[in-house]
Amino acid sequence: MFCKNCGKEIDDKADICIYCGVSTKSWQEKAGETVKKTNGFGIAGFVVSLVSLWLGVYFCIASVVGLVLSIVAMVKRKSCTSCNGLAVAGLVLGIISLAIWGLSWMIAGGAMISNFIS
Ligand SMILES: [Zn+2]
């Protein structure tokens, strides 16, 4: 790996940089956290989108939540290649779910309004 302080190449297992003495532990832990969070967003986005696709009548808002989570996962996917597929799948499912149920709600709402007017 490369030292984030001075940019020189150091041993992957080194606890401190031999050139500038900076501790490597803090940025190694941060990198691990980012991957975990990104994975979480990808999985959450996929699951929420999937659920909203089946239960969209009651959980129309879940489509939006799934879509947002998937977008977050997509934005952060640079640090996590393994969850890229999940983020894309969640995004696609979220869009499909939102299109189907959003349209259903609009039609239902439109029918109710036109009934009320006439
Ligand atoms: Zn250094």
Label each residue of 46-59 as H, E or C. Answer: HHHHHHHHHCCCCC
In a domain, 98, yes or no: yes
Ligand 1 centroid to residue 115 C-alpha, Å: 72
In a domain, 18, yes or no: no
| Mean pLDDT of the region 10-23 | 89
In a domain, 15, yes or no: no
Q: Which residues are within 8 A (CB) of 37 and not within 5 positions of it... i.e. 6 or more apart?
A: 76
The 10s digit of each residue's pLDDT in 23-63 is 887 776 666 666 565 567 777 777 877 777 666 555 566 67
Instruction: Round to the nearest angstrom and report the end-to-end CA distance of the chain.
Output: 71
In a domain, 10, yes or no: no
Ligand 1 centroid to residue 1 C-alpha, Å: 11
Residue 9's pLDDT is 92
In a domain, 70, yes or no: yes
Number of structural domains found in the chain: 1
In a domain, 85, yes or no: yes
The 10s digit of each residue's pLDDT in 67-104 is 777 777 777 666 555 556 777 777 787 788 778 777 88
Indicate the pTM of the whole model.
0.47
In a domain, 1, yes or no: no
Ligand 1 centroid to residue 31 C-alpha, Å: 17
Residue 111's pLDDT is 81
Residue 7 φ/ψ region, left for φ over 0, alpha for ψ in the -120 to 50 degree band, beta for the rest: left
Ligand 1 centroid to residue 5 C-alpha, Å: 5
In a domain, 36, yes or no: yes
Cβ < 5 A residues, ion ligand 1: 3, 5-6, 17, 19-20
Residues of the domain holding 103: 25-117
